[in-house]
Structure 1
C-alpha cells in the first residue's frame, strides 16, 4: 500500500485490523459513518418518507462505546441544501431515473469527507428500501449480481452487450458496472467499455457505468459495492460487474457478486497456465468465447481441458458444480445456454440458502475493506507518521534499513503517540 510521500510500505491485513482497533479506541471517528444523521433522518429508528421501515428502533442498538456522544461530536446536522439533495437523489433513484442513479454513484465515488458522509446517509436509505423489497420477496435477494472476468481479448464487452440486449428484450433491467483500470500517475482511466457497447448503451432498460479503480483494490471494492446497491435500489434486477481482467481485481469482484463467470478465448497458447489457479477456483461458470468459424475446434479443445481441470479443484459450494460452456457473441450461438446455466445456478443457490449466506459474508468483507481504507487514511495523516516517514523513506531507498523494519518503526511511532 502506498503511503504519503511516494513510498511503499507493505502492511498485512492483520496489521490493518490491529490499527483499526487502536483507532477506534483513540478516535471513535470513522469518517464514513453518519449515525447521528441516520437517526435524525429516521433511517435507523424510524421510517422513510413514503415507506415503512422494517428496522424497529429497539433492534438497531449501537454499542455504547462507539455510539451517541463520541460519534455526534464529529457529525454535523444536515443543512437545508444537503437535505434537499438527498431527498431528490433518493426519490429519483427509487423511481428508476437513470440521471439520479448516475449522480448518486458520482456522490459515492467522491473523496470529499463531507460528501462521503452524505453518500452513506443515502446508501443507508437505499439499503432499508431494498431490505423491505427482499422481505416482500420471502427474504430472498431481488437482484442477481454476476461478475465477469477474463484476460484481455476474451471478448468481455461483446459478450456483455449480447447478453444484456437479450435480457432487456426479456423484460429485465440490466446494469453494467465496468471496473476500469486507472492510471497511478494521473488517476485517469480508460473508460472505453461504454464506447464498445454502443447498442446496449442506447437501451432504456440498461445502464452502463465505467467505474475507475483509482489504482487500488480498496477503490474497486468500496465504489463498486456501493454502486451495486444503488443500481438495485433503482430497480435493476441484473447487475453485471466486469473487471479489467488483469491483476487482483478479479478476487475483489468475486467477493461482491452472487456468481463469478470466467471468460476464456479459444486460442492463446498455454491456456491453462495463462490463468491463475485461484481465479479458476473462484469461477462458478467458465465460458469459452468466440466459438465460431475456424475457432470452433480450438474452442471445443479448451472446453474439454477446462472441464477436466475443474474436476480436480475443490468445489466452492454444495449446490453447484462449475460448468464449462462455449458461446459466440458474433453468431449468438450458445448465448441462451449461458444464461440458462446462470439461472440454474441462482435457483440452486437460493433453494439451498447458500446465496443468502454468501451475501451476508460479503457484507463483512465490505465492512473490513472500509475499515482498511479509513485506517490507512488515519495512519497516513497521523502527525507522528508524517514526521517520521520522509526520513525512513530515505533510509529505505539508500538500503540502510529494510522496508519491513521501516514499517515496524512507523507503526510503533503511530501506536506510541495515539
Structure 2
C-alpha cells in the first residue's frame, strides 16, 4: 500500500474491461485512478489537475496512444507516460522510449507484478522531476533576489561615488572607514542571530592566534582576519528560522533549505565585495567550507586549489560550530586531517590549542536547563530592558532561584546564551 498519497493516475482506454482491470488493480495498492474512454476527456482532465502517471492504449480512435501521449507531454511534462500495446512490432515504441516521449510500455496481456512495478517506478520518477523543478524554481527565485540585491548595493556604491568628486576619493573614504564597516556587518549579524555573532567573535579570536605564525604572508594574514569577521554574513539573506535550525538542528532541514545554507558562502562573497575592495577576502569566504579531499561546497575545490587563509578559517569554523567539547573537537580535527583539512593547517591549529587557552564557545539553553557554575555569554534583561544579570556572570543557587522567581512574575523573553 502507498502511504504518501501520490498524485492521481490517468488511464485512457476505449475498452471498459481494460479500464476497470487497471483501476481495480491499482486501487488495491492505494493509488487514485481516473479512467476515461476518449482522448477528449483525457485532455480535459490534464488541463484541470496534475497527474503523476498517464497510461494510454495504443489502439485508440481519433489518434493513437503515442500521438495522445506526445500531446499530453506538452501539457504535463513531468507526468510519467506509459503506453499499452498489443502490437509486437516494437521499433516505433522503443524509439519513443529512447527519445523520452514515453517512460515505459506494457505489452498485452501484462503480468500484474510487472504493471505494479512499472507504476511504482513511474510515480517515483514524477516525484523526482517535480521536486527537481521546485528546487530549480526556488534557485531561480533566489538568484533573482540576489541579483536585485546586488543591483541595489551597486547602485548605492555608485551613488556614493557620484557624491564625491572622484571615484578614487570615494574608495579612500571607504578604506579609512573599513573597520567601522566590518564592525557594522558584525553587529548586523549579531542582531540577526545572536549565537552566530558569539560564534563569529570566537572564530575571530582563534584566527588572530593562527595569524601569528609564519604559515601566511602579511597579505594572507590580513585576508584571514577580515574573512573571519565576515565569513557568515551571507546567512542574513536566508530566512531566520532556516538559519536557526541549521545552527541547532541541522538534520531537520529540507533539501532546498540545506541547498540555501550551502550557498551562503557565495552570498557572503558578494556582500564582502561591498565592504572590502580586495577580491581575496571574497574568495576566502566562498571557500571556507571546501574540504581538502574535494568533497566540500560550494565549488568542490580540493588541496592546493583552496586559498591558504580559507584552509585555516575552515579549521577554526569547524572547531567553534561543531558543538563538540574542546577536547572532542580537537580530536576530530586531528582525525579529519588530510580529509576535511589540510594537514599543515590542522597541525598549526593543534599547536595553537596546546600553547594558548582558546576562547570559550557559546550555546543556547532553556531557563530550566541553567545550573550552578554556568557562565552567561550575554546579559539577561527584563522585557523593559532592565539588566538582571550581566555577561560573564557565573550562576549560583541563590541567583538561579531569584531568576526563576522573577520569570514566574515577569517572563524573560530573550534567548539565554552560556559559555561551555
Higher helix fraction (1 or 2): 2
Report the TM range for the smaller structure's normalisation: under 0.3
Larger Rg: 2
* TM-score normalised by L of structure 1: 0.26
